[in-house]
Amino acid sequence: MTSHRRPIRWHIGIFLAPAVLVYSAFMIFPLFGTLQLSLFTTSEQQTSFVGFDNFRVLFGDPRWSGAFWNALVNNVWFFVIHMLVQNPLGILIAAVLSNPKLRLRGFYRSAIFLPTIMSFVIVGFAWKLILSPLWGIAPDMLKAVGLKFLFAPYLGKEEYALTTLALISVWQYVGIPMMLIYAALLSIPQEVIEAGEVEGVTGFSAFWKIKLPLILPAIGIISILTFVGNFNAFDLVYAAQGALAGPNYATDILGTFLYRTFFGFQMQLGDPNMGAAVAMIMFLIILTGVCIYLFGIQMRMTRYQL
Amino acid sequence: MKIKSLFGAATAVLLGSIGVASADVTLTIESWRNDDLSIWQEKIIPAFEAENPGIKVVFAPTAPAQYNSALNAKLEAGTAGDLITCRPFDGSLSLYKAGHLGEVGDLDNMKNFGAVAKSGWSTDDGSAIFCVPMASVIHGFIYNKDAFKEVGVSVPTTVDGFFSTLEKIKQDGSYVPLSMGVADQWEAATMGYANIGVNYWKGEEGRQAVIAGDMKLTHPDWVAPYAQLAKWGPYMGDGYEAQSYPDSQNMFTLGRAAIYPAGSWEISGFNAQADFEMGAFRVPVQAAGDECYISDHVDIALGMNKATKNPEAARTFLNWVGSAEFADLYANSLPGFFSLSDHNVNMTDPLAQDFVSWRGECNSSIRPYHQILSRGTPNLANEYWVTSANVIRGSMTPEEAAAHMQKGLASWYAPQQ
């Protein structure tokens, strides 16, 4: 033990203060505000405390819980499509683009990334037009190659609408995993690849055995970003299908369900208290998912010093 | 829109100061109809001011999406205008209950309005009326006269005739028989279910019976419209499942479809877009000679701010809104928005004439899910959108849809339990 006391390190607090203040004001405070809101109910302009009654209604009332589970299941499917299509596709495109022999790499990279920076309103509207059975180019294009029978009014069919929207979203955002993986692939030192070549590991097996393990942390980050993004999704469904998320709620995800509950829709008045309860559940779902990833996967992931 | 409302506010301030200077009384009208600003400024207000010297009127609209919240805030703060444009049913009822709207039932010209017209702005028991009805929209079918001539069909009057007309147009092949889609869902309920349903549940009779709890939504009269809707699908365009409301409008005005299930608010738009002759026919009845009903939905009214400093002038204006002169001005400036008064309004637009002529032949009724029944959760109006679209697509049978609606209503509405 030393008798020498360390001076108080003021600078730590000062340096942290701006971020802590901003984060508290815009994230922590509203979060607790939402929690508080969800514990009250309003009727006849009177607000009263009801504890967890809103949550009981949300899960206990067959109509509320039916709508909630429908939205959750749809949301999970939305996420599954992204994980199965968007991320593998992103990795594949990045792997192809990182091949130094490929010409026009810069062009492909930009072209594939471009939709990411477009507004969801434009994307939703453009795809609605492309797939329109009346004026869309999709039916005509399929007809030109003799595949007209493949066309259906995808966005209007209960069985296809959600998958179609998920694929539109994949089209828009595939540039993000592509860019992240591309950067990770470029950071792999040439020596490692060459050492592999000396040992006889080339081509496809070099990708599987050397590159893929090295980019796994990046894939992990992409997965969690996809998860958070998908369970917060709202905009594309709202732009393409409206707040009722038709047909027959087939494209209703948690975001649109929250919107209708909180803000109301047409003749249905909004219920901020019930909406806050839905928002809390969404928060808990995302929190659980992130925790599972953080403690279950990321901490056990092997990292290689390059 | 923002510029318009700013302009409106600026005019309000300007004219307000002039009013004070000349010791005239100035009335300000709150409204969401900023599209109608010029009609009010150029036609309606000058006509009123010419007759009523000493009263100046300013039309000060807000953007439609912000109207309800902006109006509430202004009423709370005591800065709202003297006259308030009223949304139908619960939107205005809550303002009345909160003490913001004065009663207008004792105005002389209220005698010119029927019970249906007043229903949108009365308390549930009908004892107090708080807005003077201005206009309604009527539902029916608009058709392409050239197409009917070409295919050789005439206007149907019965349900069977309606379907045989559709069948002939389909056989002919040059036109899509029915221009409607279910992507946006609301057309299925508004121009589908509520439009054709009135003839089954006998308009007000059935609507009031459901409100009173004497009739269930599973009653055959309420299932039959679904059953008819279920047969519409095959006559709608290819891929109607993904056809949106603007798609349907364009399909019809481009001359690709023969019949458009319509609301009268389409008239001015269609007149501008379509280059063929259009006509309108009312909802076909089950058997020739049956008593007929039409969906004549109350839409807009005008009430008085209880806190106004010029109640006498405000009442003078409201009384004038119930006059024949106002009815004529309004209906002719905005074809498709029909006066709710009993005055005989001479309209110049032929399509609007077609629509309004049905009032003389049939009984008017409003959309069944607007008064009282849409107060709870699940919301009956939204549910009708979804189930009507489902029935047309065939993912729900008419009976299933009706049972679903009844279950939803009974879950919160005591008279139906």
Examine the pLDDT at B54 and tell me if it is beyond 80.
Answer: yes
Q: Is B247 within 8 Å of chain A by CB?
A: yes
Strands A268-269 and A264-265: antiparallel
Confirm if B141 and B259 have CB atoms less than 8 A apart: yes
Give the C-alpha separation, B174 to B177, whole Å. 9
Chain A partners within 8 Å of B176 (Cβ):
none
Chain B partners within 8 Å of A156 (Cβ):
181-183, 239-243, 393
> CB under 8 Å to A181, separation ≥6 — which residues?
A90, A91, A94, A95, A215, A218, A219, A222
> CB under 8 Å to A46, separation ≥6 — which residues?
none
- Please answer yes or no on whether A246 and B389 come within 8 Å at the CB atom: yes
| Residue B16 confidence (pLDDT) | 45
> CB under 8 Å to A26, separation ≥6 — which residues?
none
> Is the model more confident about B211 or about A8?
B211
B26 forms beta bridges with B56
| Residue B23 confidence (pLDDT) | 60
Q: Is A289 within 8 Å of chain B by CB?
A: no
Q: Which one of A156, A265, A268 has the shortest CB-CB distance to B241?
A: A156
| Residue B347 confidence (pLDDT) | 86
Helix (H, G, I), strand (E, B) or coil at B150: helix
Task: Name the band, by pLDDT with cuts 50, 70 and 90, for residue B15.
Answer: very low
Domains B2-135+299-353 and B138-295+367-416 share a fold: yes
Confirm if B236 and B243 have CB atoms less than 8 A apart: yes
Chain B partners within 8 Å of A246 (Cβ):
182-185, 386, 389
Dihedral of alpha carbons A127, A131, A133, A136, sign: positive
The stretches of chain A forming alpha helices (DSSP H) are 10-23, 29-37, 53-60, 62-81, 87-97, 105-113, 120-130, 137-144, 161-173, 175-186, 190-198, 203-206, 212-231, 235-241, 254-263, 272-291
| Residue A3 confidence (pLDDT) | 57
Strands B131-144 and B338-339: antiparallel
Q: Which helix (H) or strand (E) holds B314?
A: helix B311-321
Q: What are phi and psi of B266, to 5 degrees?
A: -75, -15
Each domain of chain A, given as residue ranges in start order, spans 52-300
Confirm if B210 and B373 have CB atoms less than 8 A apart: yes
Q: Which one of B98, B247, B382 has the shortest CB-CB distance to A244?
A: B382
Task: Name the band, by pLDDT with cuts 50, 70 and 90, for residue B1.
Answer: very low
Examine the pLDDT at B39 and tell me if it is beyond 90.
Answer: no
Task: Name the band, by pLDDT with cuts 50, 70 and 90, for residue B17.
Answer: very low
Long-range CB contact pairs, B4-10, < 8 A, 24+: B4/B34, B4/B37, B4/B61, B5/B34, B5/B60, B5/B61, B5/B62, B5/B63, B7/B37, B8/B34, B8/B37, B8/B58, B8/B59, B8/B60, B8/B61, B9/B60
Task: Name the band, by pLDDT with cuts 50, 70 and 90, for residue B36.
Answer: confident
- Please answer yes or no on whether A63 and B251 come within 8 Å at the CB atom: no
pLDDT in tens, B318-376: 999 999 999 999 988 888 899 988 888 888 899 999 998 998 899 989 999 988 898 88
Q: Which one of B247, B385, B390 has the shortest CB-CB distance to A134?
A: B247
Q: Which one of B239, B370, B386 has the shortest CB-CB distance to A156?
A: B239
pLDDT in tens, B95-154: 898 899 999 999 999 999 988 888 889 998 888 999 999 999 999 999 999 999 999 999
- Which of B44, B70, B67 lies closest to B57 in space, CA to CA? B44
pLDDT in tens, B229-265: 999 999 999 999 999 999 999 999 999 999 999 999 8
pLDDT less than 50: residues of chain A: 1
Task: Give how far B325 is from chain A: nearest CA, Å.
Answer: 33
Distance of CA A152 to the CA centre of its chain: 27
Residue of A nearest to B404 (CA): A63
Structure-block tokens of residue B189: 């309920």
Structure-block tokens of residue B95: 């303002």
Give the C-alpha separation, B220 to B141, whole Å. 24
Q: Is B395 within 8 Å of chain A by CB?
A: yes
- Please answer yes or no on whether B242 and A131 come within 8 Å at the CB atom: yes
Q: What are phi and psi of B131, to 5 degrees?
A: -145, 150
Q: Tell me what ipTM this predicted complex has.
A: 0.85
Give the C-alpha separation, A173 to A153, whole Å. 23
Confirm if B29 and B8 have CB atoms less than 8 A apart: no
| Residue B191 confidence (pLDDT) | 94
| Residue B19 confidence (pLDDT) | 42
Examine the pLDDT at B14 and tell me if it is beyond 50.
Answer: no
Q: Is A158 within 8 Å of chain B by CB?
A: yes
In terms of C-beta density within 10 A (0-12 exposed, 13-18 middle, 19 or more buried), how is residue A306 classed? exposed
Architecture category of domain A52-300 in CATH: Orthogonal Bundle (1.10)
Give the C-alpha separation, B170 to B231, whole Å. 13
The beta-strand segments (E) located in B269-366 are 278-281, 293-304, 338-339, 363-365
Please give the CATH superfamily to which domain B2-135+299-353 belongs. Answer: Periplasmic binding protein-like II (3.40.190.10)
DSSP B375: S
| Residue B122 confidence (pLDDT) | 92
Q: What would the mean pLDDT of B391-397 be, rounded to a whole number?
A: 95
- Please answer yes or no on whether B247 and A132 come within 8 Å at the CB atom: yes
The mean pLDDT of chain A is 91
Q: Which one of A155, A158, A244 has the shortest CB-CB distance to B385?
A: A244
Give the C-alpha separation, B110 to B125, whole Å. 17
Q: HEC states along B185-216? A: CHHHHHHHHHHHHHHHHCCHHHHHHHHHCCCC
Give the C-alpha separation, B30 to B19, whole Å. 18
In terms of C-beta density within 10 A (0-12 exposed, 13-18 middle, 19 or more buried), how is residue B176 classed? buried
Task: Give how far B288 is from chain A: nearest CA, Å.
Answer: 36
Confirm if B92 and B121 have CB atoms less than 8 A apart: yes
Give the C-alpha separation, B192 to B263, whole Å. 10
Give the C-alpha separation, B298 to B129, whole Å. 14
Residue of A nearest to B376 (CA): A268
Give the C-alpha separation, A68 to A65, whole Å. 5
Give the C-alpha separation, A63 to A153, whole Å. 29
Confirm if B130 and B104 have CB atoms less than 8 A apart: yes
Structure-block tokens of residue B230: 């279920």
| Residue A306 confidence (pLDDT) | 63
Please give the CATH superfamily to which domain B138-295+367-416 belongs. Answer: Periplasmic binding protein-like II (3.40.190.10)
- Which of B222, B56, B199 lies closest to B139 in space, CA to CA? B199
- Please answer yes or no on whether A268 and B382 come within 8 Å at the CB atom: yes
For chain B, positions 160-189, list CB contacts with chain A under 8 A.
181-186
Helices B324-333 and B311-321, packing angle to 10 deg: 70
- Which of A72, A65, A36 lies closest to A52 in space, CA to CA? A36
DSSP notation for A110-174: HHHHGGGGS-HHHHHHHHHHHT-TTT-HHHHHHHHTT-GGG---GGG-TTTHHHHHHHHHHHHHT
Chain B partners within 8 Å of A132 (Cβ):
239, 242-243, 247
pLDDT in tens, A50-93: 999 999 999 999 889 999 999 999 999 999 999 999 999 999 99
Examine the pLDDT at B13 and tell me if it is beyond 50.
Answer: no
Each domain of chain B, given as residue ranges in start order, spans 2-135+299-353, 138-295+367-416
Give the C-alpha separation, B246 to B201, whole Å. 30
